[in-house]
Amino acid sequence: MFPTMLINLPCTKLSLLALCCLFATIVFSQQIQIKVTGPANEPVPFASIIVKNRFDSSLVASKTADSSGYVSFALAAGQYLFSVSAVNYLPLNKGITFNGTSTRLALNMESAVKALESVTVTTSRRPLMRQEDDKTVMDPEPIAATSASGYEIIEKTPGLFVDQDGNIYISSMTPASVQINGRDMRMSAADIATILKNLPPNAIAKIEIVRSPSAKYEATASGGIVNVVLKKGVKIGMTGSITAGVQQGRYGNQFLGFTLNNNNGKTSSSFTLNAGRRDSYDQIVTDRFFAPDSVLKQNAFTRYPGNNAYTSYELTVELNKKWQITGDASLNYNNNRTRSENRNDISKISTAQNLSSSLNLVNNNGNNLSVSAGLESKYKIDSTGSEWTNGLFLIRTDTKSDQAFSTSYTLPVATVTAGDGNVNSHRTYFRARTDLKLKLRNRFTFETGLQSAIYGYENATAYFRGTGGSRIKDASRTNTFRYNEAINSLYVQGAQTLGKDFVIKFGTRVENTNMMGRQVVPGDTSFNIHRTDLFPFVYLSKNLVSIAGYPMRAYLIYRRSISRPSYDQLNPFRRYVDEYLTETGNPGLRPQFTGNYEANISVNEQPILAIGLNDTKDIFTNVVYQSDTSQSMAYRTYDNLGKSKEWYFRAMGALPPGGKYFFVAGAQYNHNDYQGLYENKPLAFKRGTWTFFTYHSLKLGKKSVATLNGFLRLKGQQQFYELGSFGALHASVNRKFMKDKLIVTLSVNDIFYTNKNDFTIKQGSVNANGSRMGDTRRVGINFRYNFGIRKKEENNEMYNAVPGN
C-alpha cells in the first residue's frame, strides 16, 4: 500500500517532468563513437557495452559492437559508467565524463589468456579517499604495507581518530559504530578493537566512512558508521599472499598471516589465517583533589601481553544469472595476561605530609573465543540494478577470566588484603534482515527492508577475599545477571533523479526496542524497557560547476539517530575498581537523540569541504561523583546531563594520485555548546577542538615508495575531560624484490612520541588532572609475498577520463 502511494502520489508532476527531461535529452544528446580494442590495439568484435548513469546507476543504453569493434551511443552531457565484456577478455569498467560534444572514445581491454599466463602485481592509482553517494570510501592499499593489523590501518586513516580505549571518531565527539562487511557486531569498543587487531593488514578491501547514514542503517549510529569491508576472491584464477611482521617499542608485536582467493567463474572463495603475539602498556597518572587541603595521587601501570589467532572462510556461488548465495564463517581467539600496578598516596597539600600509602596489584588471565557465521542471498530482478537481498548473521562470544588482586598498605598501618575471582560471560547476537531495491521508471529508486536483531548476555562473577588464611566469598563483588534485547525495525526510502544530476533521497525508519534485564545475585534489580521511535532521513545532491574538467558536487543531509544505554550502564550493582573508586549503572538512564545536519562539497568524488551540526538531547555520559560517605571515595556512573549543539567544519585537499608524488591533507574544527545539570547544579560550557591530518606518498624510482602520515589534535575533549594537545607522525619506506612479488616495508610509528595527553576534569565536586601514555612509538619491518594471479580491477581513472575528439 505505502510503496504504491509513494510512487503514484507525485505521478502527474513527475510524468510531466519526465517528458520534459526526455525532450531535453533528445534535443541535446550527441553521438559518441566507441571503438573497443585489445592489448595490441586489435579490434574486439561483438563486445557487449552497458552504459549506466553515474549517480543513480540507472540503465542508459546497452548495445553490441560490430565485427570491427565499433558502436555508437546518443548521450547527453554528464557522467557515465561503461561496462564492457567480451569472450577471452577481462571485464572492463570505466567512468566517462562526457562534455556533450561529438567525440570518439577508445576502450582498451586486456586479454584474459595473457593474464592467466602471468604473475603480476598492478599498482593501484585510485584516490586514497573518494566520495560515493552518501559515504566516503578509503583505499587501504597504500597504508596496509606499513601496518601490522587492520586496527593500525584505521588509526592511520586520514580524518579518523582512535582513542586509547578503541573508540573511533569521525565528525563528532560521539564514537562511531563499527561494522565488518556491513554487519553490526554488537560488541564493546575494546572487543571490536581486538578483532581488528587480529585482522592481517592485507585482508581489508576498503573502509567505508558514513557520516550521516540513511534510513537503511540502524538508528543507533549517531556518531556515524565505519564499515570495514574484507577482501573476497579476485576476478579470475587463484591468488594469495603471505605476510609477516615485527614491531618493537618498549614491548613487541609479531604476526604471521596467509590469504588465499580463488575464482573459477561461478564460484569464488576466500580463506584467511592469521596468528600473532601482542604486548603493550598503558600508564595513567592522576591527582584528585577531594578536600581543600588533601590530594590523592595515583600512578597506574598496566601491561597487556597476549596471543591471538584469526581465521575466516567465505564462499560465493552464482546459481544462475539471477541468484547468488554467499556463506561465511570466522573464528577469533584471544589469550591475555594483564598485569596492573596502582600506587595510591593521600597527602596534605600544605605540609606535604603523607597520610596514606598503598599498592594495588591485579593479575588477569583470560581467554576469549568468538565464532560467527553468515548466510546471504541476492536475487537480481532486472538489469537496471533492482535486487532483493536476504541475510542471516550469528555471532557467539565466550569469555573466561581469572583474577588475583591484593592491596598492601604501608601507611597509616602496615596491612595486606587479598582476594581472587573469576568471570564467565556468554554473548549471542542474531540478526535476520531482508532488503528490496527497485529501479523504477522516471529514474526513481525505491528501497524498503525489515530487520530483527536479538541480543542475549549472561554473566556470572564470583569473588573471594582472604582473611586469616581462609577464603571467604566477597558479596560486594559477586554478581550474576541476564540481559535480553530485541530490536525490530522497518525502513522505507526513495531516491529520485531530477533533470540531469539533481538527486533527492528521502526515507524513514521505525524501530521497536525491547530490553529486559535481571540480576539474580546478590539481589533482584530487574528492569524492562519497551519503546518505539521514528527516524527520518533526507539527502539532496547536485552538480554545481566543473573545475578544470572535474565536476564539483554539493550534498545536503539530515538524519535523526538514537543512542541506547547498554545493560552495564543500566545495572545498579556497584562494581569494585580500587579502594577509592567504584562504578555502578543507572536504571533511570534515558536514551539520547541526535539530529545531524550536514552540507558538504566534493570535487571529482574527493570530499573537500563540510559543515555540520549535531543537536543532541538527553545526553548520557560517563561521570564521576564524590561519595556521600567519604570524601576520598568516588563512584563512576552514567547520567543524563542535558543537551548540546556541536558544530563542526571539515576541509580536505589532495594532489591526485598517479604521479610521482601525491598527498591528502585536512583539518576539522569541533565546537561544543553544552547546557545541563551536574550534581543538581547548572553546568554550561563552550569548547572548541582542532584536528589536523595528512598523508603523503613519494615514489622513489620504480621499486620503492616512501610515505608520511599523521594527525594533530589541539585542546581536545573527551566527554567532560579536557585534553591537552597531542598527535602522532608515522613514516615508512618499502622496496620490491623478486619480480615485484616480495614487498619489504620499514616503518616508524609515533616518531616523536607525542601520542600521549594530559587531561583535566573540573565538574561539580570532582577536581582532578593527570596524564596518559602508551606503547605507541614503535619501529617495525613487514614482509609481504604475493603469489598466483593477483590482478586488480583498473578503476585508476574512474570518472576522470574525458573523451577526446
Contact present, 230 and 180 (Cβ < 8 Å):
yes
CATH of the domain at 209: 2.40.170.20
Same domain, 112 and 136: no
Say whether pLDDT at 593 is over 80: yes
Say whether pLDDT at 636 is over 80: yes
User: Which residue bears the cell 560550557?
Assistant: 685
Contact present, 497 and 443 (Cβ < 8 Å):
yes
Same domain, 307 and 174: yes
Q: Give me the number of domains the chain comprises.
A: 2
Element (H, E) at 213: none
CA atoms in the 13 A half-sphere facing the CB of 188: 10
Same domain, 53 and 111: yes
User: For the residues 211-224, what does the mean pLDDT come to?
Assistant: 80
Contacts of 727 by beta carbon, 8 Å cutoff, 6+ apart: 692, 710, 711, 712, 713, 754, 755
Say whether pLDDT at 489 is over 90: yes
Contact present, 514 and 485 (Cβ < 8 Å):
yes
Say whether pLDDT at 626 is over 80: no
pLDDT in tens, 537-558: 999 999 998 877 778 899 999 9
- Say if 793 falls within a structural domain: no
Same domain, 151 and 76: no
**431 secondary structure, DSSP code:** E
Q: Which amino acid is at 340?
A: S
Report d(CA 374, CA 42) in Å as an integer: 45
Bigger pLDDT: 195 vs 789? 195
Which of the residue ranges 109-118, 134-143, 152-161, 282-291 has the most confident prediction, judged by mean pLDDT? 282-291
Report d(CA 452, CA 431) in Å as an integer: 6
User: For the residues 250-270, what does the mean pLDDT come to?
Assistant: 87
User: For the residues 519-547, what does the mean pLDDT come to?
Assistant: 86
Same domain, 88 and 203: no
Same domain, 604 and 732: yes
Element (H, E) at 567: helix 567-570
Which of the residue ranges 81-90, 419-428, 761-770 has the most confident prediction, judged by mean pLDDT? 419-428
Q: Which domain holds residue 45?
A: 2-116
**Grid cell for residue 44:** 574486439
Same domain, 28 and 133: no
CATH of the domain at 26: 2.60.40.1120
- Say if 795 falls within a structural domain: no
Bigger pLDDT: 162 vs 301? 301
- Say if 539 falls within a structural domain: yes
Same domain, 206 and 79: no
User: For the residues 19-25, what does the mean pLDDT come to?
Assistant: 41
Same domain, 196 and 81: no
Bigger pLDDT: 717 vs 414? 414
Domain boundary among 65, 94, 116: 116
Contact present, 75 and 59 (Cβ < 8 Å):
no
Coil, strand or helix at 196: helix
Bigger pLDDT: 622 vs 341? 341
Query: What average pLDDT is seen over the chain?
Result: 83
Report d(CA 200, CA 180) in Å as an integer: 14
Contact present, 23 and 54 (Cβ < 8 Å):
no
